[in-house]
Structure 1
């Protein structure tokens, strides 16, 4: 990081939490929450550049807002919210959204920031006797005396911050800290989860992971539709007639099927808000995706490339073992016949997958488990829907093109799962094309497919079983063309609703004990995999239900 200037607000973050500083400054990772949005609201007035700020030799400074000054000597750059002049001296005033401590003294993180602002002003020739912090909740200022001891401490903290910035890995999370509950980066940092996996805490992890986002995917399935944007909303029209409209604030992904057009303005609006756009065939095959700027978490992609080149470093074995165990659990819970032998075989194959030493052997184990599982799959289908599973019983799993209704449902749900995990890998900062188990080839999102393995039975297969057994899809919902079977437009929408319901289902996380939706657990698992890739935690633990 040498050659850069360290923002004074980043020194504030370092004092608050060294890991938070590292994630934001070194890895350039950031996420908003209610507190950060409120902070922006508090700063809206002082962020506007107003007032003259002459240097001391050029005149008196009366009041100036949003003034940026730097110090090469300190290696710091500071944006001062407000500078007030008082009879030859100036007072830096920094605005904070919260309250001071109970004894009416400033928080150390706020104190160091305003001290650095004072030091930068002093280096530019201003006379500064004290500084002030304005806390918005009580609407009052707290004075900070600029003693030699306090200023020396501020300089030492800057040196410590630079030392941490030069480290190859982020500091470990705080243990049982109340700070984590209000941190905007808690969903990226996963402090309690990381500490639990590293055995740094004895208590079960707190439910710190943020609640499910309000945003949901927008699916556009109408052939010939056009997606534009107007007044902060995505607008879907066909032949200039409005079909639907969605607020961009409520949109997690824009997913278009088949012959649907998306305007350049809509793409730009999505990219500006970090909304990925994914194009699928009318049958659900992922054709491509687009996003705005790539994640700045370059170190993660560098490590991902290294692990990919090394052949997965044991990660593939754990992923496939998790998948096999989840297949076994789904079958055990839903089979309507005697599948005892199959369950025993799947348990044995999961153990083999964990301990196999060669990639070819792992492929063999996974292939054997898949054949046993799909051979027993029709036993989970009720007698009322048996006709839709009859051809599958004879042909087994076949996907290109799906030759029967059950294969068509499985293929569509697997495509939706892959689509979601592409979006998640992009959000985490992973490269969706550089896989661990799945080999990379043109147009294949190998990393998303890797993460999908443990969720195929948990999400996709479960959706298919539920759709058939609940009578939500019937023979009339499928189109047969030669040797291929596809979903009708109405059936596809029915499947999408069922798939989204499944993602909103809450479960108890087997490793961490708290309740969490499948939508959120997929994000957590992707972040845990990233933590393994950068060496923060020793091994990947797949999501395995009991």
Structure 2
């Protein structure tokens, strides 16, 4: 079974015969190519053209993250699935204001419904979240009324504020107090975990987009502009509560990650390497967890659900079947 390979140390990554090798000053580790799905690099790692050629041949995506854990960019193989026809279809949907708004609203509705599912799950576990649930339900009714992407995103932001306000009731650790969402730099421990988790999810989604005919540069909720990718941000909205936030609550409430796993510097709060590793271990476990798919009548992993979400959007773009976002049914 192919898995994501994560590299945290500094060193060099090279092709060695019919596999690849990661070499540091004191160690050499061979990574069997047949077991690699994708590579995420967090350390200072040197690569060369021979490795790039080999990864391209094997259709393995290589993604880089900076010191703070933010996604920097990817090398991805020559696109075997690239489709000029699909780009035209995506562009037509994007340029049609009514259609773009319709798709964007579906992303927001899917994301909000999954946020509510999370809150209702913890409310059933005596976290007293009914007030937050009621407020979000009320704001949610405004989604259909919006006539512009900008006002739609304002409604989404208002919902997210209420959702994040509930985190302090879900989290059992007094040292993980959450005041408001802050980014680049994150100002507290939970914001650091949210930013790191989001960065991972954006990259997981991006890598799944590469395996479809869709173009990651043409999003609908997030404006397509000089930013390189937007579609992965759209799809990630649906899965951040399901995958990222559930992982955050788990690592805090089970003391898998503590305040000792963070460093403070002039740019905010940073998750240390061991903390990143433990978080990734749990988010990987979540991605591999399976649920019963109501349409396919079989169990599929959360990682597979991301690809299925893209296939649904692809069918919508091709005017084959109207897109309906994934919503947890528990």
The equivalent position to 1:415 in structure 2, one of 199, 206, 212, is: 199
Separation of aligned partners in 2, 1:304 and 1:535? 11
Paired position in structure 2 for 1:329: 117
Name the structure 2 match of 1:381: 171
Q: Report if the CA contact (8 A) 2:7-2:43 is conserved.
A: no
SS of 1:387's equivalent?
A: coil
Whole-angstrom CA distance in 2 between matches of 1:398 and 1:475? 18
Matches within 5 A, 1:132-171: none
The answer to whether structure 1 residue 308 and structure 2 residue 94 are counterparts is yes
Q: Write the distance in 2 (CA, Å) between the matches of 1:226 and 1:252.
A: 19
Find 1:237's aligned residue among 20, 23, 26: 23
Q: State the match for 2:108 in structure 1.
A: 320
CA shift for structure 1 position 251: 1.0
Alpha-carbon shift at residue 296 of structure 1 (Å): 3.6
Equivalences for 1:102-251 in 2 at 5 Å? Answer: 214-222=1-9, 224-239=10-25, 241-242=27-28, 244-251=29-36
Q: What's the TM-score once normalised by structure 1's chain length?
A: 0.57
CA deviation after TM superposition for structure 1 residue 275, in Å: 1.0
Q: CA deviation at 1:444?
A: 4.2
Assess, with a 3 A threshold, how the Cα gap between structure 1 residues 248 and 483 changes in structure 2: closer, same or farther.
closer
Q: How many residues align?
A: 324
> Counterpart of 2:138?
348
Structure 1, unaligned runs of 5 or more: 1-213
1:519 counterpart residue number: 303
- Mapped to 1, the partners of 2:144 and 2:291 lie a distance apart of 25
1:26-58 CA distance string (max 9 Å, x none):
xxxxxxxxxxxxxxxxxxxxxxxxxxxxxxxxx
Larger Rg: 1
Give the drift of 1:510.
Answer: 4.4
**Change in CA separation of 1:442 and 1:279 when aligned onto 2, cut-off 3 Å:** farther
Aligned-partner SS, 1:278: strand
How many angstroms does 1:511 deviate by? 4.7
**Hey, what's the Cα distance between the residues in 2 that align with 1:354 and 1:498?**
36
Q: CA deviation at 1:485?
A: 0.5
CA offsets 1:272-299 (integer angstroms, 9 cap, x no match)? 1111111111222111112222224322
Contact 2:202 2:236 in 1 (8 A): yes
Runs of 4+, deviation exceeding 4 Å: 510-513
Correspondences of 1:442-453 after superposition (within 5 Å): 442-453=226-237
**Partner residue in 2 for 1:254:** 39
After superposition, give the CA deviation of every residue in 1:492-544 in whole Å (9 maximum; x if it has no partner): 1111111100100111234544321101010000111111111111x211110
Q: What's the secondary structure of 1:428's corresponding residue?
A: coil
In the alignment, is the contact (CA less than 8 A) between 1:307 and 1:313 conserved in 2? no
Distance 1:284 1:441 in 2: 24
TM-score under structure 2 length normalisation? 0.93
C-alpha separation between the residues in 2 aligned to 1:370 and 1:398? Answer: 12
- Relative distance call for 1:352 and 1:508 in structure 2 (3 A) is farther
Across the aligned residues of Structure 1 and Structure 2, the Cα RMSD in angstroms comes to 1.7
- Distance in 2, matches of 1:510 and 1:377, equals 29
SS of 1:453's equivalent? Answer: helix
1:468 aligns with 2:248: no
Per-residue CA distance 1:281-338 (angstroms, 9 max, x = gap): 1222111112222224322122112222224151110110110111111111125532
Q: Distance in 2 between matches of 1:465 and 1:354?
A: 31
Does 2:75 correspond to 1:290?
yes
CA distance in 2, matches of 1:501, 1:354: 35
Conserved? CA contact 2:132–2:162, under 8 Å: yes
Query: C-alpha deviations, 1:131-160, integer Å up to 9, x for none?
Result: xxxxxxxxxxxxxxxxxxxxxxxxxxxxxx
Contact kept in structure 2, 1:321 and 1:354, CA below 8 Å: no
SS of 1:436's partner is: coil
For the pair 1:440 / 2:227, whether they are aligned, the reply is no
Equivalent-residue separation in structure 1 for 2:46 and 2:238 (angstroms):
34
